Amino acid sequence: MILVTGGAGFIGSNFVLDWRAAHPGEAVLNLDALTYAGNRENLASLAGDAGHVFVHGDITDRALVDRLLAEHQPRAIVHFAAESHVDRSIHGPGAFVKTNIEGTYTLLEAARAHWSALGEAAKAAFRFLHVSTDEVYGSLGPQDAPFTETHPYEPNSPYSASKAASDHLVRAWHHTYGLPVLTTNCSNNYGPFHFPEKLIPLMIVNALAGKPLPVYGDGLQVRDWLYVKDHCSAIRAVLAGGRLGETYNVGGWNEKPNIEIVHTVCALLDELQPRADGQSYRSQITHVKDRPGHDRRYAIDARKVERELGWRPAETFETGIRKTVQWYLHNPQWVQRVQSGAYREWVQTQYAA
Ligand code: NAD
Ligand code: DAU
């Protein structure tokens, strides 16, 4: 069995579904606090699957984590649980420090105690895989080379600073205690179950609801996009073959300015579900106040994971974004239920001005 944290969130739930399909013989213990971003409905297709055990709990709860490790003896921990939204970190950084830093620390200490007591074979096989982000490297200029694994850490938001801190803890637990860790630093994901506070799902659901499409500042900030299932396959590859203590950057060589992403979403919706008045969804675009401290450009150099582990993404941006838009069109009830929760209050706080 493996222990997954944050497996009811966007990437975590995609990973759990992907793992159950790829490794039907190995169960998943899924520990998730079900914050606003956790949604058990993402895992509905696993109902009745004895290979998926869900535990509603917090990664900062050391006694709970100790008990789960002792009872279930997972051979690996794949750690997704985090506060993940940059805008929320600007409004309220405390939760990011608590979950991303203290939560990772708690897991590392529990993992260390558990791993130290294992027999030789189990000890050698054990892995702690920490899922992190390209945002820890800071912002690139237009001509800068993409981030490699040796790029200096220069986090600029409370979110990226908290993730950077967690990466440093993971690194230190390897160097000081020998804990067998792996870290992945991935670029922006998109795909099914993406919470509609993030750019791509927000644009899709707002467009369909006839609402404004809020583009921050000039919309020329650049992100490097990867279809979520390709991130999942990269994590599986690193877990299976990554070298202990190493970090692996994950990305699909898909740099795009935000405004181009929004235009692509509008064009797909114009094709797949045209507006009743015959106008393009582009007419809903509105430029709003920029995000404070907004990083201008991220780009990932993924050559290490490609070279060492033979990983390649299966989707291009064109195939992935079409699948994503289609998924949202086919799942209006998922969107509706997400929006009837705490999400609504957040939208009011963020876009009231
Ligand atoms: P998400 O916000 O969609 O999901 C986070 C999940 O963690 C939720 O299910 C939530 O309930 C759970 N969680 C939060 N606090 C918890 C706690 N204290 N204890 C237990 N569970 C808790 O996030 P995501 O976008 O799926 O990101 C997952 C991980 O991947 C994060 O570590 C994030 O930093 C990293 N990452 C995300 C992206 C991206 O584009 N979304 C890219 C690179 C890396
Ligand atoms: O790079 C990886 C990171 O990608 C992950 O570590 C984070 O968890 C994830 O949230 C994401 O961070 P971003 O800040 O890049 O994603 P977001 O979808 O919030 O924004 C993408 C870009 O779009 C960013 O430049 C801000 C802009 N944006 C976002 C929103 C929500 C808008 O212009 N308008 C919006 O309403």
pLDDT of residue 69: 98
Determine whether 61 is an active site residue: no
Q: What percent of the chain has pLDDT over 90?
A: 95
Q: Name the residue with the closest Cα to ligand 2, atom 35.
A: 199
- The model's pTM: 0.97
Model confidence pLDDT, tens digit, residues 34-51: 999 999 999 999 999 999
The confidence score (pLDDT) of residue 225 equals 98
The per-residue pLDDT for range 258-303, each reduced to its tens digit, is 999 999 999 999 999 999 999 999 999 999 999 999 999 999 999 9
Q: Choose one of 3, 11, 60, 232 to mutate for the ligand 1 pocket test, by most ligand atoms within 8 angstroms of C-beta.
A: 11
Domains for the chain: give ranges and CATH numbers: 2-193+225-253+294-314 (3.40.50.720)
pLDDT score for 340: 84
* CA 37–ligand 1 middle distance (angstroms): 8
pLDDT attached to residue 347:
56
User: CA-to-CA distance for 130 and 235, rounded, in angstroms?
Assistant: 10
Q: Which parts of the chain register pLDDT below 70?
A: 342-348, 350-351, 353
- Identity of the residue numbered 342: A
Examine the residue annotation and report whether 318 is marked as an active-site residue of this protein: no
Say whether 301 is catalytic.
Answer: no
